[in-house]
Structure 1
Amino acid sequence: MSRYELKPRPGNGVIKAVIGWDRPLQTFFAQVFTPTEEDPEEGEATIWLGTEPGELPSPEAAIRVVEAYADIPETLAADLGADRDATIGVKDGAHQAEAKQRLFGSLH
């Protein structure tokens, strides 16, 4: 799994945006965090996509989710693609396979 914290754009109430690759779910993910009264520094993810297998199939799909809220480094799509490519052929461990079976009804 990879995870990149992005610098939020000013004036939109966002604390941070996060994007990355989740190998077990075979999807990219994107999160946008806004402050809460309980935790104004860390906040909560008010946008969170990439929690289902294959939901965000490309780096560009994940970037589209966060680009209105955060600055996107020029190399981000390539870095995310490299993260995915580095996990090609990696198999789930027994616990991951069991969890997928329970959660999704298949091993994907």
Structure 2
Amino acid sequence: MSRHKVPTENPATTFAVGWDTPLATYFAQHFTEPADLDDDPEELFWLGGTPCELPTTEDLTAALAQYGAALPAGLLQQLDADRLAEGAHFNGRPATVLIAAAALDAANPGQADRIREQLRGAL
């Protein structure tokens, strides 16, 4: 799994993107920084939390555009390199297989097709 912090205009927030190998998806997380150590961060958005949700950097870019966020080209290239280095499969990950099977009912048709393809390769 990779994770890269992305600078934001607001220092009170944290924005990170990366490749989640077990779920075979890119992700993006944007949170507020808690003002107090006893407080929890507030999630502004979290994309790529389900199997095969954002399988390409193009999918990640399109999802981020809905929030008015964009990534530098160099970071997109690094994310592609992360995916290639770490792989994109469910093989050897029994928990991911269970999570993916459970996610099928809620997945959109394209995501469901990608999950089924991954499950065929993992069984």
- Work out whether residues 30 and 63 of structure 1, in 8 Å CA contact, stay in contact via their aligned partners in 2: no
Query: Which residue does the alignment assign to 2:111?
Result: none
Query: Which residue does the alignment assign to 1:75?
Result: 74
2:44 counterpart of 1:43: no
Shift of 1:91: 6.3
Match runs of 1:1-108 below 5 Å: 1-10=1-10, 15-35=13-33, 43-64=41-62, 65=64, 68-69=68-69, 72-88=71-87, 92-93=91-92, 96-97=93-94, 99-105=95-101, 108=119
The RMSD of aligned alpha carbons is: 3.2
Percent identity of the aligned residues? Answer: 32
Q: Which consecutive residues of structure 2, in runs of 5 or more, have no partner in the other structure?
A: 103-117
Per-residue CA shift, 1:12-55, capped at 9, x if unaligned?
Answer: x8612110000110000011112456559972322001111110
Q: Secondary structure at the match of 2:15?
A: strand
Structure in which a larger fraction of residues adopt helix: 2
Q: Distance in 2 between matches of 1:86 and 1:78?
A: 12
Shift of 1:73: 3.2
| Structure 1 length-normalised TM | 0.70
Q: Secondary structure at the match of 2:86?
A: coil
Q: Which consecutive residues of structure 1, in runs of 5 or more, have no partner in the other structure?
A: none
Q: Distance in 2 between matches of 1:38 and 1:102?
A: 37
